[in-house]
Amino acid sequence: MKATLLGLLALALLAALVYFLMGAGVLQPGDLQTDEAPAGIAYFAGACYVIGGLLILARKRWLWVIGAVINALVIVTFIAAYAARPSVLFSAPGLATKAAQILLEIGLIYLIVTYKNKETAR
């Protein structure tokens, strides 16, 4: 379980790093202009993924459930907002964040399901 938790932390920190790089202007998500996505939003998203990643280590099932729901909403919102803009959807930052977030989602669901099974086995 420790390796899973650390792996999920690494995925959350990877997503955070990409958001921080977008906020700093190092990575550009396709043709998205600064007025469409201010740097503050990227920094806020990055901070949320750092905090969320660290909360994974708390080993609280309810935190994993909340994190999985919020993460799923982020993924769905991104796809809904940029489905008609492939330059943003398939940009390096778009793919990097979504790949990390989808793997994070799978890992959180795995933790939620296996943790529940361990509780009922007692």
Give pTM, 2 decimals.
0.90
75 pLDDT tier (thresholds 50, 70, 90): very high
Please write the tens of the pLDDT for every residue from 11-36.
999 999 999 999 999 999 989 887 78
**Residue bearing the bigger pLDDT, 118 or 16:** 16
pLDDT of residue 118: 52
Residue 66 to residue 70: CA distance in whole angstroms: 6
% of the chain residues with pLDDT over 90: 84
Q: How many domains does the chain have?
A: 1
From residue 111, how far is each of 4, 46, 62, 104 by CA, in Å?
8, 22, 11, 10
46 pLDDT exceeds 90?
Answer: yes
Residue 113 to residue 110: CA distance in whole angstroms: 5
Domain that includes residue 44, residue range:
2-121
